[in-house]
Amino acid sequence: MIIGTAGHIDHGKSRLVEALTGRAMDRLAEERRRGITIDLNFAPLDLGDPEPAGVIDVPGHEDFIRTMVAGATGVDLVLLVVAADEGIMPQTLEHLLIVEQLGIRLGIPVVTKADLVEREWAELVAGDLEERLSDSPIDFGPPLIVSPVTGDGGGIDELLEAIRNAGRTLTEADEGDAFRMPIDRAFSVAGVGTVVTGTIWSGQLAVGDPVNVLPAGHRARVRSLEHYSKEVRRTRHRARAAIGLAGVDRDRIRRGDVIVTDVLPWQATSALDVHLSLAPTAPKALRPRTRIRVNLGTQEILARVYPKSALEPGGSATARLALEGRVVARGGDRFVVRSYSPVSAIGGGWIVDPLPQRRRATWPPGLGASDPGTRLEALAQRRAGGIDDADLPVLLGLSRTECDRVLATVSTLVRAGSHWVEHRAVKHATGSALARVDAYHEMNPSETGIPLQDLKARLSNTPWIAESVVTGLLDSGELELSDGRVRRPGFEPRVAGGQQEIDRVVAFLEREGLAPPSLAELIERLERKDIRDTLRLAAREGRVVSIGRDRYFAKTALDRFIATLAEIGSSGDITIAELRERLGLTRKFLIPLLEWSDGQGITTRLGDVRRLSRRAGSP
């Protein structure tokens, strides 16, 4: 469990953490000199469980809100701290807005510095705080009054017990999920090298594992791992971790980078589609192209916001964030929005599509739905080619196991190769495939069917849909595949005049021997403009062969030609001169015939002569 503090400056957050953990939180010299927290501080908290909880102390000063958001990222339980001598203050409310927008579910209100006021006054502050939190989406328990200095007013023990009780309500994390950890610190350690720290958002990591530091894409290997200053071989979820990295220099890593493994196809992006909420306290509406600050994970990045229309304070809507840099995000990730200037928290939200299409994006109604099945359907609707199965855990923000459970509940999507596509898209492509085959049969009755690749190319711009549709139709028997062509079952190629016309054309070519007319001459002499279709059918029957660009030879004539080659070649080389003398043919016919015989493996050319091949025989 990760516990984070929140509250106004100098309300006793660091002293409270020190009382809980026994560790001083002011680790920087400037922090000790000024008496305030200016960076993130961390400590383990022993709750009697096998593994300690982690406590993150964040700065309360308004100048360090960016750091506060980085620390609050990944927190399971927030301690909202209010000093008894001051009550609710501006940064109290800003911190409250931030932790609400980050989606933290559990909280404990803590009234500190009870030793500085009368008990009745501390109780009034606690009552005021409880009333203020009554409509918060965070499940806050009743405020606890403590004095970290003296232990008076309820004491630390009661707070520890409340923390234990909150921890018992947390759901178990899916350890099979992909590893991801936003980096909040990076430094060098002698003998170890580059070390990064952060709160593990998901998954596990082991010593020796390869990792990526994104969005820059630096490759590295895990050299060492620590949980709360204790070396381990494997990390666990909901914990702080220090990771020693080999293969990447410290100066190439910064706060806001993310460490991931290659289990998922993570991608850096400069655009996010989000469900955005604007706080009722926001000073003005968010209009399209408004420049804002987005705090996502441990990163702050500038962006332009594009809601469909102006988003008024207290309202919410889907919107596009056009970022001025790149981030690595996942569906469901929470973020905080702060105004560009003057800087203050004004809202936040969660990511509905971490990898949106850049142009002509649609906004289906279910895109902002909390139900993952509904959102999955919407994500598929806005992608013409569907969703790659490997991308589902990134788009939905769920583990592979959870994604499979969601898929089992969605009836509107079907598998097409490696993608999930809308059933209606497949149904449309199926109807189109059958219609195209029927149209091809009608327009080309002499052909056995449409070429397979032509059919697939005309069906869809996405090859996996075309492949899936055609394969399905072949498997179901609605279409047949023969010699690379697709046809309707029972279809037989035909020409006008039928088999009698084919016999007539073949007989004509047999009479012409080894000097048949060209295709154009055949059309004129036989007075048939569709002679090409007839010749194709005769060729499929094996009775004629196409040689050269526009000439067909009868099979019987080619058999005589092969016999002549065999006779001449049995006693030596085959020359054009001897063939011309034997067959009475000009080079106009001899050259194409010899090139054909070479291609068939009947002869082999050696300079100006040919020899019989070992594979010589009839075609």
State the residue for tokens 């790149």: 326
Kindly state the average pLDDT of the residues 461-490.
93
Q: Are 186 and 299 contained in the same domain?
A: no
Q: Is residue 512 part of a domain?
A: no
Query: What percent of the chain has a predicted confidence (pLDDT) above 70?
Result: 93
Contact criterion met (CB below 8 Å) for 44 and 52: yes
CATH number of the domain where residue 200 is located = 2.40.30.10
Q: Which of 410, 436, 458 is the last residue of a domain?
A: 410
Contact criterion met (CB below 8 Å) for 446 and 436: no
| Alpha-carbon separation of residue 477 from 181, 363, 427, 434 (angstroms) | 51, 38, 16, 12
Query: What percent of the chain has a predicted confidence (pLDDT) above 90?
Result: 59
Q: Is residue 619 part of a domain?
A: no
Q: Is residue 477 part of a domain?
A: yes
Here the tokens at position 541 are 């029957």
Q: Is residue 360 part of a domain?
A: yes
Residue 378, domain extent = 268-410
Q: Are 148 and 219 contained in the same domain?
A: no
Q: Are 342 and 452 contained in the same domain?
A: no
Farthest CA pair distance, the chain: 128
Residues with Cβ within 8 Å of 551's Cβ and at least 6 positions away in sequence, in order, are 516, 517, 518, 519, 592
Contact criterion met (CB below 8 Å) for 585 and 579: yes
Q: Are 324 and 436 contained in the same domain?
A: no
Q: Are 240 and 325 contained in the same domain?
A: no
HEC readout, 93-159: HHHHHHHHHCCCCEEEEEEECHHHCCHHHHHHHHHHHHHHCCCCCCEECCCEECCCCCCCCCHHHHH
Q: Is residue 495 part of a domain?
A: no
The pLDDT assigned to 514 comes to 92
157: left (phi over 0), alpha (psi -120 to 50) or beta: alpha
Q: Is the pLDDT of residue 550 over 90?
A: no
Q: Are 252 and 278 contained in the same domain?
A: no
Q: What 3-state DSSP class applies to 428?
A: helix
Q: Is the pLDDT of residue 62 over 60?
A: no
Report the domain count for the chain.
Answer: 5
Helix%, strand%, coil% for the chain, nearest 5 = 35, 30, 35
pLDDT category, 313, cuts 50, 70, 90? Answer: very high
The pLDDT assigned to 153 comes to 44
CATH number of the domain where residue 589 is located = 1.10.10.10
Contact criterion met (CB below 8 Å) for 377 and 406: no
The pLDDT assigned to 496 comes to 57
Q: Is residue 218 part of a domain?
A: yes
Here the tokens at position 138 are 């965070």
CATH number of the domain where residue 117 is located = 3.40.50.300
Kindly state the average pLDDT of the residues 518-534.
79
* 356-386 pLDDT per residue, tens: 988 777 899 999 999 999 999 999 999 988 9
Lowest mean pLDDT among 12-16, 273-277, 390-394, 564-568: 12-16
> Which residue, among 533, 555, 551, 534, has the nearest Cα to 600 in the 3D structure?
555
How many residues can be counted in the chain? 619
Q: How far apart are the first and last CA of the chain?
A: 78
Q: Is the pLDDT of residue 152 over 70?
A: no
Q: What pTM was estimated for this model as a whole? A: 0.78
Buried b (16+ CB within 10 A) or exposed e, 542-552: ebbbebbeebb
pLDDT category, 83, cuts 50, 70, 90? Answer: very high
Contact criterion met (CB below 8 Å) for 198 and 259: yes
Q: Are 10 and 90 contained in the same domain?
A: yes
By the 10 Å C-beta count (0-12 exposed, 13-18 middle, 19+ buried), 310 is classed as middle
Q: Which of 239, 260, 281 is the last residue of a domain?
A: 260
Q: Is the pLDDT of residue 46 over 60?
A: yes
> Which residue, among 52, 19, 24, has the nearest Cα to 240 in the 3D structure?
52
Q: Are 281 and 318 contained in the same domain?
A: yes
Q: Which of 260, 290, 322 is the last residue of a domain?
A: 260
Q: Is the pLDDT of residue 269 over 80?
A: yes
Contact criterion met (CB below 8 Å) for 413 and 377: yes
| Alpha-carbon separation of residue 34 from 11, 18, 31, 63, 65 (angstroms) | 14, 17, 5, 14, 17
Torsion of CA 115, 120, 123, 125, to 10 degrees: -80
- The rounded distance, in Å, linking the Cα atoms of 145 and 119 is 9
Q: Are 442 and 377 contained in the same domain?
A: no
Residues with Cβ within 8 Å of 427's Cβ and at least 6 positions away in sequence, in order, are none
Which residues does residue 610 pair with via DSSP β-bridges, in sequence order? Answer: 574, 605
Q: Are 343 and 386 contained in the same domain?
A: yes
Contact criterion met (CB below 8 Å) for 539 and 585: no
Contact criterion met (CB below 8 Å) for 398 and 406: yes
Preceding omega of 215 cis (within 30 degrees of 0):
yes
Q: Are 464 and 435 contained in the same domain?
A: yes
- The rounded distance, in Å, linking the Cα atoms of 443 and 344 is 69
* 419-434 pLDDT per residue, tens: 999 999 999 999 999 9
Q: Is residue 551 part of a domain?
A: no
Q: Is residue 55 part of a domain?
A: yes
Preceding omega of 342 cis (within 30 degrees of 0):
yes
| Greater model confidence, 561 or 37 | 561
The enclosing H or E element of 300 equals strand 299-307
* 196-210 pLDDT per residue, tens: 999 899 999 999 999
Contact criterion met (CB below 8 Å) for 130 and 142: yes
The pLDDT assigned to 39 comes to 45
Q: Are 109 and 160 contained in the same domain?
A: yes
The pLDDT assigned to 445 comes to 82
The pLDDT assigned to 14 comes to 85
pLDDT category, 246, cuts 50, 70, 90? Answer: very high
Average per-residue pLDDT in the chain? 88
